[in-house]
Structure 1
Amino acid sequence: MTLPFGALRAFEAAARLSSFSRAGDELRVTHAAISHQIRHLEEWFGRALFLREKRGVRLAPEAKSFAETLSSSLERISAEAELLKLRTRSEITVGCIPSIATRWLIPSLSDFLAKHPDVTIKVVYAMAEQRLRETGCDVLITLGADTFEGVVCHQLFSRATQPVASPRYLERKGSIDHATQIATADLLHDETTAHWAQWLDKAGVPLTPTLRGPVFQDFNLLATAAIAGHGVALCPVELCRREIENGDLIVLSDIAILAQESYFLICRASPQKSISAFCTWFKSVIE
């Protein structure tokens, strides 16, 4: 007769708890089921493993070492099972600058999760100046390439930045289709007035001593203000492609600045399968 492995779990619980009833509660079976399993195991050993007493049961002294070994082994098996479970269900931490997270990543994320139900995605904010090894992320979606060794950079789209405004602003202010008209419009600034100064200089418009208009700390705030009709903003046209295609924003000039810069998806070289799948998916999203 082979060792009844099915009875070992009942024996371990009963030995650890010194009770058939509590072992049954833990394993969600009856006291009688535990007793049956223990008797089956005792028949295999040819000896009693528990001393039956009026107030309950007590582990036989000669079975103590076996019970301790079994308990330790089951703990190791449980730990290995948890590790296997984690390896089967991958977690990817994606660091993403807010402008891309709100426009491209989050709106499409359900599509990736539907295609990869065993992958858990954790999305965290990344600053534009951060690089992959500084974030502790598996994937970084940001402005600029990463020059550190051991990483792969996938170019997503250009940062070419042009003036845009909402239809409601143009309805209120009239047609704006020349650089001099843009210069006198209500200008909206992203963190600093420097980009508007750069654009006006490229457009050949004389700079005023002070560029007026509200300054927004975050690009998402700037874009919201532009869509709401508060003025003309400088926005990366590829980043705001959906707003432009939907008609929420209208490009006012072909003159662009920052065209030499790009947004990138960055990961380690030879990434694990789930990370590679995410990178391939996201690149398809922004195409």
Structure 2
Amino acid sequence: MLPPLGALRVFEAAARLASFSRAADELHVTHAAVSHQMRQLEDWFGRPLFLREKRGVSLAPDAERLAEALSASFERIAAEAEALKLRTKSEITVACIPSIATRWLIPALGDFLAAHPDITVKVIYATAAQRLRETGCDVLITLGADKSDGVLCERLFSRVNRPLASPRYLERKDGLNNAEAIAGADLLHDETTRHWQDWFAKAGLQLAAPRGPVFQDFNLLATAAIAGHGVALCPVEVCRREIANGDLVVLSEISVLEGEGYFLISKASRQKAVSAFCAWFKDVVDPRSGF
């Protein structure tokens, strides 16, 4: 038969600190509560466990081995409890390029956190040139596949680019329904004018140097297009929501960059929390999910 377990916890603290008052402070109870618990425990053992002195208490010699055993046991319990807590609560780091982070990951992330309160997610920026090993992250969402050994690479979006413009711009520039008309529009560029050159070549036109501002980041380009500054070549799958909402309109089915894509990348031997995140995000971007 075990002694009262609550009293044993109080006894261990009082023995370790050699003080009822300090034990009370550590356990967030009153001095009177500690004294009561110690009297109860001494009644159970039928002998005194502490020597009461004018300046405090000291451990009775017969109780020293009990105090040592309890301290060791509570330390082990605390260590095992912390280990279980860490196994239960996981943290994963997701590196994501800005275009996918702002359009798909961040807007939906609250749903994942609500469904998995035991998982903490840290989101950082990734560049299109990075690969999983370089980031040191659990998950990488980026442009282009990672063909490294031991990596699981899953396609999320096609990079098929088509001309897009906002209804606001089309009110001012009516009739942008063919390549010749688009050539006379205000063209917006993502990092380089080469993509527009390739598009016009595919449409049967040769434009040596298409004019218009060049944006370093796709988010900047998309913002400019939505604001009505011109026509931008954009990945239609990544911009699926803007198109569905009517913020952007597809002007032509002629496309470029058909062979490229955006990928979800993780280690092939991934932990449970990473598997849960990857399965969730693939469902988020699946066209059948209704965005």
Residue of structure 2 equivalent to 1:70: 70
Structure 1 residue 47: deviation in Å? Answer: 4.7
Structure 1 residue 274: deviation in Å? Answer: 2.5
Q: Does 1:38 align with 2:16?
A: no
* Rounded Cα–Cα distance in structure 2 between residues aligned with 1:280 and 1:206: 44
For each residue in 1:186-210, what CA deviation from the matched residue of structure 2 results, as whole angstroms up to 9, or x when unmatched?
11111122222222222221223x3
For each residue in 1:201-230, what CA deviation from the matched residue of structure 2 results, as whole angstroms up to 9, or x when unmatched?
22221223x332111111101100000000
| TM-score normalised by length of structure 1 | 0.91
Residue of structure 2 equivalent to 1:97: 97
> Pairwise mapping of residues 115-194 of structure 1 onto structure 2 (< 5 A)?
115-194=115-194
Structure 1 residue 46: deviation in Å? Answer: 5.5
Residue of structure 2 equivalent to 1:9: 9
For each residue in 1:150-204, what CA deviation from the matched residue of structure 2 results, as whole angstroms up to 9, or x when unmatched?
2211111210011111111111122211112212211111112222222222222
* Rounded Cα–Cα distance in structure 2 between residues aligned with 1:21 and 1:141: 56
* Rounded Cα–Cα distance in structure 2 between residues aligned with 1:9 and 1:33: 13
Q: Which runs of 4+ in 1 moved over 6 A?
A: none
Change (3 A) 1:2 1:70: closer
Structure 1 residue 258: deviation in Å? Answer: 0.8
Residue of structure 1 equivalent to 2:289: none
| TM-score normalised by length of structure 2 | 0.90
Structure 1 residue 22: deviation in Å? Answer: 2.3
* Rounded Cα–Cα distance in structure 1 between residues aligned with 2:164 and 2:156: 21
Structure 1 residue 15: deviation in Å? Answer: 2.2
* Rounded Cα–Cα distance in structure 2 between residues aligned with 1:72 and 1:182: 78
Q: Which amino acid aligns with 2:80?
A: E
Q: Does 1:220 align with 2:219?
A: yes
Change (3 A) 1:243 1:19: same
Q: Which amino acid aligns with 2:218?
A: F
Q: Which amino acid aligns with 1:232?
A: V
Q: Mark the runs of 5 or more structure 1 residues left unpaired by the alignment.
A: none
Q: Which amino acid aligns with 2:186?
A: D
Structure 1 residue 242: deviation in Å? Answer: 0.6
Q: Which amino acid aligns with 1:164?
A: L
Query: Between Structure 1 and Structure 2, how many residues are aligned?
Result: 286
Structure 1 residue 138: deviation in Å? Answer: 1.6
Q: Does 1:250 align with 2:255?
A: no
Q: Mark the runs of 5 or more structure 2 residues left unpaired by the alignment.
A: 287-291
* Rounded Cα–Cα distance in structure 2 between residues aligned with 1:79 and 1:197: 63
For each residue in 1:245-276, what CA deviation from the matched residue of structure 2 results, as whole angstroms up to 9, or x when unmatched?
11111111111111101111112224232222
Q: Which amino acid aligns with 2:262?
A: Y
Name whichever of 216-225 and 10-19 sits farther off. 10-19
SS at match of 2:196: helix
Q: Which amino acid aligns with 1:246?
A: N
Q: Alignment RMSD, CA only?
A: 2.0
Residue of structure 2 equivalent to 1:262: 261
Structure 1 residue 40: deviation in Å? Answer: 3.9
Residue of structure 1 equivalent to 2:274: 275
* Rounded Cα–Cα distance in structure 2 between residues aligned with 1:65 and 1:152: 55
SS at match of 2:105: helix
Structure 1 residue 61: deviation in Å? Answer: 5.2
